[in-house]
């Protein structure tokens, strides 16, 4: 079973990397980009066979390691 | 957008006491709006108003022929001759660092750097004094890693060398770590910028990064005691961007050089509110702000949020109107926001407009000058009980207890993550008594240190306060520098408790006495109170940051002992073991009184070291851990062994003050002894450097073995 975790900075938290991308896009001539937020995607291969168990496990991983929940939010998809 | 009703609960949530709220009603003669309540709470909290500490801070010595500007501005300014000035300050970022260690520490570094370059100085050195809970506490390793990464990440990227600091562990910091960030910069004495606005109708300009909802409520939080509900009080964490700050530095310095700046103030805690009020108040003017013109990162921000946002990398400036186009071009070049958000007005008013609505209309001078000021009840700290009987311990076992503890182990794990060399002017990197940085393009250099021994301050606030300054004096002296001035970062528990207030008052008394006696006035500082978790206060931690001057690079003492050099102890030894590191690390005993500090002896012995620097191959101050630890460290850094001819614990591990250990070539000993006799300075030959073993009295061990312990203990204790 596979899981995909998407980690993004929470709404409102400054994203310097996103700002840098927005700025670079502008200077390359892509007008009209008013905001960029970037994050990361983590794909996990899991031994679990039940979606519910897998999801609970991955959420625990997010809380402990994959996301810094003080400033980041995460989303888990079981594929 | 409608604002919430003012209720007693809302007032309390803003950290305002009922009597303080009554005072607000008296001042404005009506109920405040929500935005006004926010403004009052930001201006009147402990963090901005110093309401519990002000009456005691006024007693500190803040003047001297070398002082150009003392406390009250963004940072202190000290003359270093030839038209040069050093500008420096230390400030805490304790609470944010506990919540998000990486960003908390990073924005702490960013904030202190802005304080320095707001005044027109280019930052040349940074230090960080860090206090954490026990390594065994579940949060400690996470905090240490995050804070160190944050300090390094911001300072390294911005391009300022981190040249010194402290790291300590004690259980009292388990729920409340301390992150005290220091920065120093250089400016010409005729090009220093202050925050007082002048002239009516002058444009008020917003510079730097955009405003988001970062840290809204942060200043209020920083003055609240932590408890279990901290998770819910958590505002949006401020995230720093050192690359923007670097651009802001360059843009500000360029703008200042252009002559366009009347006054400038950085936006720190309570951002726009604090900075605007300060500029108006100091200039005796009012300020009108039109919030629609504030560059915003997020949509639908309210007046309340904009006034209280703590977004980083921002400045407020009063500009010469005729220079607007030129100023705008400079900021555009550095890709930073530049917006005219208001103007200075003649009447005493702080007028905040958003859309067509008046969101706040307050008497500006009252916001600053009418802030409550408390003479909180305090009780003198009772004399420390007598030292308990000292348990038996072997001499080398004692040394190993020290060098194997994270408090006294080699701190390379920490400072190797910091760039100490950027700028290519660093002469002495961390690990020696003080960091030394050349004044670029001159033959002068500046030395930096930060010191305090919190155990001493708890046992005896007055002596502990004196000791913190005396140790800073010695550390600067040990590299050959003349101590010039001091910044203090006073971290204490809840000031509403008389015994905590008593620690504060006592420590300040000691600090003041020492600063006068050692001629190093306080030119800037910061107070952080309410450092308690569930009623448990931290050890009183008045961190002293100090700066010294080397008029010529020849004055530098930064050598290492060589084989055959004599180990010479400068200063008198009585063997004071009360509150010593040995007892704390070997036995977990924190007992007895702090060592007394004889300020006249400090000065005499310091002057002796500076006057005889040519005879000293290497020099270190004796701090906690006493002679044994100092001798070990000096020898270890040189890759040599050392022999100390002493068999008793008090002589080897006692922490008497006003002492130095120096390495002297054999040929220089007689001359040094004669000089000491003439100066009335006690001098004792205590051993010799060389070989591959560490010998204390009749016990020996291979240096290689001890060195391995010393260099691995920090990482081992933290599991990093």
Q: What percent of chain A is helix, strand and coil (3-state, nearest 5)?
A: 35, 30, 35
Residue B226 is predicted with a pLDDT of 53
Q: Where are the domains of chain B?
A: 192-366, 565-718
Residues of chain B with pLDDT under 70: 1-2, 217-236
| Whole-angstrom distance, CA of residue B353 vs CA of residue B520 | 46
Q: Could you identify the residue written with the tokens 């009052």?
A: B40
Q: How far is B121 from chain A (nearest CA, A)?
A: 25
Out of B93, B354, B408, B410, which one is annotated catalytic?
B93
At A63, is the pLDDT very low, low, confident or very high (cuts 50, 70, 90)? very high
Q: How far is A4 from chain B (nearest CA, A)?
A: 26
Residue B438 is predicted with a pLDDT of 96
Q: Does the annotation mark B47 as catalytic?
A: yes
Residue B224 is predicted with a pLDDT of 53
Domains in chain A, ordered, with CATH? 2-78 (3.30.1280.10)
Give the Cβ contact number of residue B600 at 10 Å: 9
Residue B127: which of B78, B161, B172, B76 has the closest Cα? Answer: B161
**Identity of the residue in A14, A20, A23 whose CB atom sits nearest the CB atom of B239:** A14
Q: Which CATH number fits domain B565-718: 3.30.830.10, 3.90.650.10, 3.90.1150.10, 3.40.50.620?
A: 3.90.650.10
Residue B227 is predicted with a pLDDT of 52
Give the pairing of strands B76-79 and B67-69.
antiparallel
CB B595 within 8 A of CB B456: yes
Q: How far is B597 from chain A (nearest CA, A)?
A: 45
Torsion of CA B396, B397, B401, B402, to 10 degrees: -20
Give the pairing of strands B76-79 and B84-92.
antiparallel
Residue B46 is predicted with a pLDDT of 83
Question: Going along B481-589, which residue ranges are E strands?
Answer: 482-491, 522-528, 532-533, 536-537, 541-550, 566-570
Residue A8: which of A51, A41, A53 has the closest Cα? Answer: A41
Q: Which residues of B are annotated as a binding site for Mg(2+)?
A: 91, 115, 266, 526
How many residue contacts between A and B have a Cβ separation below 8 Å? 38
Please give the DSSP secondary-structure letter assigned to residue B662: E
Residues of chain A with Cβ-Cβ distance to B238 below 8 Å are 14
Q: How far is B62 from chain A (nearest CA, A)?
A: 39
Give the Cβ contact number of residue B397 at 10 Å: 11
Residue B698 is predicted with a pLDDT of 93
For B292, residues 6+ apart whose C-beta sits below 8 A from its C-beta are B353, B354, B355
Which chain A residue has the Cα nearest residue B100? Answer: A70
Asked if the Cβ–Cβ distance from B243 to A16 is below 8 Å, we say yes
Asked if the Cβ–Cβ distance from A15 to B244 is below 8 Å, we say no
**Identity of the residue in B209, B213, B234 whose CB atom sits nearest the CB atom of A12:** B213
- Phi/psi of residue B264, each to 5°? -150, 145
- ipTM here: 0.77
**Identity of the residue in A20, A23, A71 whose CB atom sits nearest the CB atom of B239:** A71
Q: How far is A10 from chain B (nearest CA, A)?
A: 9
Beta-bridged to residue B90, according to DSSP, are B182
Q: Angle formed by the axes of helices B271-283 and B34-44, to 10°?
A: 70
CB B588 within 8 A of CB B613: no
Beta-bridged to residue B88, according to DSSP, are B76, B184
CB B503 within 8 A of CB B458: yes
B686 by Cβ neighbours in 10 Å (0-12 / 13-18 / 19+) ranks as: buried
Which chain B residue has the Cα nearest residue A70? Answer: B100
Q: How far is CA B130 from CA B126, B325, B450, B451, in A?
A: 13, 44, 10, 11
Residues of chain B with Cβ-Cβ distance to A69 below 8 Å are none
Residue B219 is predicted with a pLDDT of 44
Class for the domain spanning B192-366: alpha beta
Asked if the Cβ–Cβ distance from B239 to A13 is below 8 Å, we say yes
Residue B238 contacts A, CB cutoff 8 Å? yes
For A2, residues 6+ apart whose C-beta sits below 8 A from its C-beta are A43, A44, A45, A46, A78, A79
Q: Which residues of B are annotated as a binding site for ATP?
A: 50, 89, 488, 525
Residue B225 is predicted with a pLDDT of 57
**Identity of the residue in B99, B311, B335 whose CB atom sits nearest the CB atom of A14:** B311
For B29, residues 6+ apart whose C-beta sits below 8 A from its C-beta are none
Q: Could you identify the residue written with the tokens 């038996």?
A: B392
**Identity of the residue in A20, A23, A71 whose CB atom sits nearest the CB atom of B103:** A71
Residues of chain B with Cβ-Cβ distance to A25 below 8 Å are none
Buried b (16+ CB within 10 A) or exposed e, B460-484: bbbbbbbbbbbbbbbbbbbbbbbbb
Which chain A residue has the Cα nearest residue B213? Answer: A12
Q: How far is CA B98 from CA B95, B150, B413, B512, B656, in A?
A: 5, 12, 20, 30, 34
Asked if the Cβ–Cβ distance from A14 to B214 is below 8 Å, we say yes
Residue B549 is predicted with a pLDDT of 97
Type and span of the H or E element at B294:
none
DSSP helix/strand/coil, B275: helix
Residue B8 is predicted with a pLDDT of 87
Which chain A residue has the Cα nearest residue B241? Answer: A16
B192-366 and B565-718 share one fold = yes
């Amino acid at each position: 079973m596979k899981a995909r975790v998407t980690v993004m900075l929470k709404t409102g938290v400054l994203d310097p990397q996103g700002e840098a991308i927005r700025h670079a896009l502008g200077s390359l001539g892509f007008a009209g980009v008013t905001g960029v937020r970037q994050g990361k995607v983590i794909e996990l291969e899991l031994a679990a066979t039940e979606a519910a168990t897998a999801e609970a496990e991955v959420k625990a991983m997010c809380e402990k390691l994959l996301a810094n929940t003080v400033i980041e939010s995460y989303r888990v998809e079981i594929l | 957008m409608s604002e919430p009703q003012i209720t007693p609960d809302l007032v309390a949530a803003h950290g305002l006491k009922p009597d303080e709220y009554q005072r607000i009603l008296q001042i404005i003669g009506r109920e405040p709006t929500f935005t006004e309540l926010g403004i009052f709470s930001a201006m009147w909290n402990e963090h901005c108003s110093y309401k519990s500490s002000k009456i005691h801070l006024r007693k500190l010595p803040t003047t001297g022929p070398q002082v150009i500007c003392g406390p009250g501005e963004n940072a202190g300014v000290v003359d270093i001759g030839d038209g040069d000035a050093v500008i420096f300050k230390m400030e805490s970022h304790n609470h944010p660092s506990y919540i998000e260690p990486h960003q908390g520490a990073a924005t702490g570094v960013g904030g202190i750097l802005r304080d320095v370059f707001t005044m027109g100085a280019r930052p040349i050195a940074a230090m960080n004094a860090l206090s954490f809970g026990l390594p065994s506490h579940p949060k400690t390793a996470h905090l240490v890693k995050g804070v160190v990464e944050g300090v390094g990440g911001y300072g390294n990227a911005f391009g300022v060398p981190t040249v010194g600091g402290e790291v300590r562990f004690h259980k009292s910091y388990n729920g409340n770590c301390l992150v005290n960030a220091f920065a120093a910069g250089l400016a010409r004495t005729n090009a220093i910028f202050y925050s007082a606005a002048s002239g009516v109708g002058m444009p008020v300009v917003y510079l730097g990064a955009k405003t988001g909802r970062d840290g809204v409520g942060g200043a209020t939080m920083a003055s609240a005691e932590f408890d279990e509900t901290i998770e819910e009080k958590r505002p949006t964490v401020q995230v720093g961007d050192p690359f923007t700050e670097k651009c802001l530095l360059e843009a500000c310095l360029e703008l200042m050089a252009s002559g366009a700046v009347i006054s400038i103030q950085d936006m720190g805690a309570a951002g726009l509110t604090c900075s605007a009020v300060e500029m108006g108040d100091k200039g005796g003017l009012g300020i009108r702000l039109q919030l629609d013109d504030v560059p915003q990162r997020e949509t639908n921000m309210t007046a309340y949020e904009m006034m209280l946002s703590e977004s980083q990398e921002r400045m407020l400036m009063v500009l010469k109107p005729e220079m607007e186009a030129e100023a705008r071009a400079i900021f555009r070049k550095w890709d930073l926001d530049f917006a005219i958000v208001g103007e200075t007005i003649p009447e005493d008013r702080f007028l905040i407009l958003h859309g067509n609505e008046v969101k706040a209309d307050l008497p500006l001078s009252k916001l600053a000058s009418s802030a409550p000021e408390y003479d909180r009840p305090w009780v003198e700290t009772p004399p420390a009980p007598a030292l308990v009987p000292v348990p038996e311990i072997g001499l080398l076992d004692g040394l190993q207890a020290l060098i194997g503890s994270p408090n006294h182990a080699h701190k390379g794990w920490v400072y190797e993550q910091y760039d100490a060399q950027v700028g290519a002017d660093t002469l002495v990197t961390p690990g020696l008594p003080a960091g030394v940085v050349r004044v670029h393009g001159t033959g002068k250099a500046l030395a930096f240190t930060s010191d305090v021994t919190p155990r001493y301050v708890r046992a005896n606030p007055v002596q502990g306060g004196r000791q913190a300054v005396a140790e800073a004096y010695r550390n600067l002296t040990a590299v050959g520098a003349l101590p010039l001035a001091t910044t203090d970062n006073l971290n204490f528990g809840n000031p509403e408790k008389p015994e905590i207030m008593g620690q504060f008052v006592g420590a300040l008394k000691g600090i003041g006495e020492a600063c006068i006696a050692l001629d190093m006035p306080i030119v800037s500082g910061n107070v952080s109170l309410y450092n308690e978790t569930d009623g448990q206060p931290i050890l009183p931690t008045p961190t002293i940051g100090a700066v010294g001057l080397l008029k010529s690079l020849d004055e530098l003492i930064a050598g290492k002992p060589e084989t055959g050099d004599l180990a010479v102890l400068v200063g008198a030894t009585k063997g004071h073991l009360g509150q010593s590191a040995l007892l704390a690390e070997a036995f977990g005993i924190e007992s007895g009184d702090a060592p007394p500090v004889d300020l006249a002896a400090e000065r005499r012995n310091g002057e002796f070291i500076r006057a005889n620097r040519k005879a000293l191959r290497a020099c270190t101050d004796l701090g906690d851990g006493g002679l044994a630890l100092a001798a070990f460290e000096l020898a270890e850094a040189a890759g040599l062994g050392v022999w100390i001819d002493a068999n008793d614990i008090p002589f080897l591990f006692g922490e008497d003050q006003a002492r130095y250990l120096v390495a002297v070539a054999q040929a220089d000993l007689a001359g040094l002894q004669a000089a000491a006799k003439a100066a009335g300075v006690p001098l004792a030959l205590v051993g010799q450097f060389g070989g591959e073993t560490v010998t204390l009295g009749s016990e020996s061990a291979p240096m290689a073995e001890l060195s391995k312990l010393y260099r691995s203990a920090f990482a081992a204790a933290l599991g990093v």
